[in-house]
Chains A and B, each alone.
Chain A
Amino acid sequence: NAGVTQTPKFQVLKTGQSMTLQCAQDMNHEYMSWYRQDPGMGLRLIHYSVGAGITDQGEVPNGYNVSRSTTEDFPLRLLSAAPSQTSVYFCASSPLDRVEEQYFGPGTRLTVT
């Protein structure tokens, strides 16, 4: 099993550009989530999904969209990048009844200039 994979590992965007961060898992997990991590602020939940076709907002959803067309994939879209979205983004997945034991991907470091 590859576990949770994220692409790209690094990305630099200009303000106003859009892009999609990819996340995939091969463990057949129902639950998937996206977090951002900023210095001194821990991890903050952006969006999450409890299964294909179902998504919901987390703590900081503004400026981000998600969709879950398959169990395996959970892409995060930045609609119009802003410098405030400079961060490290983590995707995670788990069985639905074990959200506490989420498996995290390696992260994507995004810089918006």
Chain B
Amino acid sequence: EDKVVQSPLSLVVHEGDTVTLNCSYEVTNFRSLLWYKQEKKAPTFLFMLTSSGIEKKSGRLSSILDKKELFSILNITATQTGDSAIYLCAGEFNDYKLSFGAGTTVTVRA
């Protein structure tokens, strides 16, 4: 059974800190690894990763994939209170089906 595990489940940091979120997966048919941000309501797409070692960046957020060790990390540098959210990792392991991890709740305190 395909599985996505995120750690930690939650963390609290202060503005300006750097945050690293982890996502490991076990799959039978890997296609891509995805990151989403969920604030008060619906998740929004952040990154799609398909190749090992190639960093994707968007502003203060970056992510990288290791297909040999089956994990990905999401980094947030110089955190702001607006980064407070649930960060979801998901795998596209079969056509058109996404498997999500439980999410990491990030709280950034001023």
Majority secondary structure, B binding face: strand
Q: Does B62 contact A (CB under 8 A)?
A: no
Partner of B88, one of A31, A42, A96: A42
**B interface size (C-beta, 8 A):** 22
Q: Which chain A residues in 78-103 approach chain B with CB under 8 Å?
A: 90, 96, 99-102
User: Are B48 and A100 neighbours in the complex by a CB distance under 8 Å?
Assistant: yes
Q: In the complex the two chains form, what is the Cα distance from A79 to B97 in whole Å?
A: 23
Please count the residue pairs between chain A and chain B whose beta carbons lie under 8 angstroms apart in the complex.
53
Q: Does A74 contact B (CB under 8 A)?
A: no
Q: Which chain A residues in 21-54 approach chain B with CB under 8 Å?
A: 31, 35, 40-45, 48, 50
Q: In the complex the two chains form, what is the Cα distance from A102 to B48 in whole Å?
A: 12
User: Are B92 and A100 neighbours in the complex by a CB distance under 8 Å?
Assistant: yes
Q: Does A107 contact B (CB under 8 A)?
A: yes
Partner of A101, one of B6, B42, B45, B102: B45
User: Are B92 and A44 neighbours in the complex by a CB distance under 8 Å?
Assistant: no
Mark A residues whose CB is within 8 Å of B. 31, 35, 40-45, 48, 50, 56, 58-59, 90, 96, 99-102, 104-107
